[in-house]
Amino acid sequence: MARTDLQRLRHSLVDQIMSTYLDRLAQRRPVSPFERMAINAFGATIADDLAIKLMTPDNLSALLKSGTVRNGAENITFGTISSLAELDISNIFVFAGRITVVKPVEFALQLGDSRDAGSVSMHLDGTTWKLSGIGLPPKVLANMVDRLPTR
């Protein structure tokens, strides 16, 4: 937890959940600009609560070690991503190809070959790199959004 920027990580998760939720609603019916604004304002509190439940020390540890995305408080598993612990760094060229510079002080690391592998983002804070985001695969996000109200 000491090497995690909790605020950036929470914002990362909330943004992904809200984006997936709005996309799901837009597939079923048109979403008006006013409704989109209201969902972003009030829905973010629900997504924020979910993100906080995902960010417990036990859940983050399990996510990074085994790739399991779960809500320990309600004993719900949403799916898995590729594990950071199992990332093969023996081939430096493949490893380097998975790194994307987001900003001069932030990079994203794709955990596998496909979109379903997930990713992590690291942000330079002072002299150390901190976990600042987890890119969840579409399947995992869909499982999370399925639990949110659609009306």
In the sheet that holds 106-110, the strands lie side by side as 99-103, 106-110, 119-125, 128-135
Per-residue pLDDT of the chain (151 residues; tens, 9 = 90+): 888 999 999 999 999 988 888 888 888 888 888 888 888 777 778 888 888 888 888 888 888 888 888 876 677 888 888 888 778 788 888 888 889 999 999 999 998 888 788 899 999 999 999 999 999 999 999 998 887 766 6
Cα–Cα dist 118/56, whole Å = 19
Assigned token pair, 110 = 């794709």
Q: Tokens 């955990």 — which residue?
A: 111
